[in-house]
């Protein structure tokens, strides 16, 4: 059977979200996020996180990240991020564009996670040159990471504390936040505001929605007006925002977001176990969410591709592939992948 493990972005919309869109599609509603669905977002997310929040619905993760970073960073400021992060590698310079030239500073660390020692060194490197150098203004961390690993609450707290004591803002790229919460089995607050995260790009499109993400401000809520201006100036204040907000509300209802993510994680874990038992293929990173990176010979990976199974080779590597599992991945699809690898 054919199956697609290229990206969770290629998954369909979850049925309850689709049904919510149908329900929202009746009659007129005020435009530009002044509709009844958008007005309920602060309350719904506040309840989820157990604290007061301000929420901006947007259509893409890229714009959520860029608005958060540009709102907190002056053009002469720098944003610290992992050297494999989406903001650094895959957003075509959007944070720099929105931030009028702000600088992204890549930081290393194993398994796609910023290391505390590496961050300390990078921050130390920026000291002592006054107005001649960029001013460290923000830290952005991805959870779950682009490598499919997950920060523990303690790891996040340590990084946030290092940023906070230097007066830097803290942002979490949560394109796959749901997969991280499902993996850790923690309270969403434990890997966001309680760990010191001030702003969160809460992803939903990869996990059952269509063009719906929420930029959540825990602290720095005074930046909301700046963020709203950036959203409008960039053409991201959708007139028909009710369709974005209705999805986000349905996504949160009755824990749907976690249920969908837990399913994706389980499929990934099943495949990871098969890779671990394989005589030649091996896991490149710990599998803690819904992405599995497999190191295998080009011929070995070719065996999978020949079985009509789609996946992505990691750019620049013909012996490294990424398999992404989604809320919609079926047992039969995962089995087809495992079988293709074993025969």
Ligand X SMILES: Cc1ncc(COP(=O)(O)O)c(C=O)c1O
- Binding residues (CB under 6 A) for ligand X: these are 9, 60-62, 86, 142, 146, 173, 175, 205
For the beta carbon of residue 90, count every other beta carbon within 10 angstroms.
Answer: 13
Task: Compare residues 38 and 65 and give the one whose CB is closer to ligand X.
Answer: 65
Task: Compare residues 35 and 91 and give the one whose CB is closer to ligand X.
Answer: 91
Least distance between ligand X and beta carbon 58 (Å): 9
Task: Compare residues 175 and 223 and give the one whose CB is closer to ligand X.
Answer: 175
Going across the sheet that includes 291-295, the strands are 282-283, 291-295, 320-324, 312-313
What's the DSSP call for residue 217? Answer: E
Task: Compare residues 208 and 341 and give the one whose CB is closer to ligand X.
Answer: 208
Task: Compare residues 321 and 336 and give the one whose CB is closer to ligand X.
Answer: 321
Can you list the positions of beta strands (E) in the chain? 3-4, 54-58, 77-82, 103-107, 135-142, 169-174, 199-203, 213-217, 282-283, 291-295, 309-310, 312-313, 320-324
- Phi, psi values for residue 143, rounded to 5°: -145, 115
d(CA 187, CA 264) in angstroms, rounded, equals 19
Least distance between ligand X and beta carbon 7 (Å): 7
d(CA 284, CA 318) in angstroms, rounded, equals 14
Of the candidates 40, 46, 288, the residue with the CA atom closest to the CA atom of residue 189: 46
Least distance between ligand X and beta carbon 178 (Å): 12
How does strand 135-142 pair with strand 103-107? unpaired
Task: Compare residues 29 and 176 and give the one whose CB is closer to ligand X.
Answer: 176
d(CA 341, CA 199) in angstroms, rounded, equals 41
CB 77 within 8 A of CB 137: yes
Tokens of 320: 């490294």
SS3 state at 73: coil
Of the candidates 205, 203, 204, 187, the residue with the CA atom closest to the CA atom of residue 195: 187
Least distance between ligand X and beta carbon 205 (Å): 5
Task: Compare residues 178 and 338 and give the one whose CB is closer to ligand X.
Answer: 178
- Phi, psi values for residue 37, rounded to 5°: -70, -50
**H or E stretch covering 143:** none
Task: Compare residues 29 and 70 and give the one whose CB is closer to ligand X.
Answer: 70
Least distance between ligand X and beta carbon 144 (Å): 8
Least distance between ligand X and beta carbon 62 (Å): 3
Residues forming beta bridges with residue 322, ordered by sequence position: 293, 312
Least distance between ligand X and beta carbon 101 (Å): 21
Least distance between ligand X and beta carbon 279 (Å): 31
């Amino acid at each position: 059977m054919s199956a697609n493990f290229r990206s969770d972005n290629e998954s369909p919309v979850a049925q309850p979200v689709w049904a919510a869109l149908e329900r929202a599609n009746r009659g007129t509603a005020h435009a530009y996020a002044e509709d009844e669905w958008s007005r309920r977002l602060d309350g719904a997310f506040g309840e989820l996180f157990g604290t007061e929040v301000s929420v901006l619905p947007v259509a893409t993760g890229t714009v959520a990240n860029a608005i958060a970073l540009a709102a907190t960073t002056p053009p002469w400021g720098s944003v610290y991020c992992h050297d494999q992060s989406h903001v650094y590698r895959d957003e075509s310079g959007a944070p720099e564009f929105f931030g009028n030239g702000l600088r992204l500073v890549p930081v290393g660390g194993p398994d796609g996670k910023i290391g505390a020692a590496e961050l300390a060194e990078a921050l130390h490197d920026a000291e002592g040159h006054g107005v001649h150098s960029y001013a460290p203004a923000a830290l952005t961390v991805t959870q779950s990471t682009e490598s499919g690993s997950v920060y523990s609450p303690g790891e996040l707290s340590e990084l946030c504390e290092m940023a906070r004591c230097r007066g830097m803002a803290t942002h979490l790229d949560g394109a796959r936040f749901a997969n991280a919460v499902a993996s850790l089995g923690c309270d969403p607050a434990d890997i966001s505001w309680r760990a010191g995260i001030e702003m969160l790009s809460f992803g939903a499109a990869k996990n059952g929605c269509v063009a719906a993400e929420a930029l959540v401000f825990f602290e720095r809520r005074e930046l909301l007006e700046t963020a709203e201006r950036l959203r409008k100036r960039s053409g991201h204040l959708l007139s028909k925002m009710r369709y974005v907000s209705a999805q986000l509300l349905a996504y949160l209802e009755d824990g749907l977001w976690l249920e969908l993510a837990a399913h994706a994680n389980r499929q990934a874990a099943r495949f990871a176990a098969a890779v671990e038992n394989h005589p030649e293929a091996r896991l490149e990173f710990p599998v803690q969410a819904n992405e599995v990176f497999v190191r295998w010979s080009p011929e070995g990976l070719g065996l999978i591709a020949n079985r009509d199974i789609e996946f992505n080779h990691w750019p620049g590597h013909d012996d490294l592939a990424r398999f992404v599992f989604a809320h919609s991945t079926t047992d039969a699809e995962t089995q087809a992948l495992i079988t293709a690898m074993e025969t």
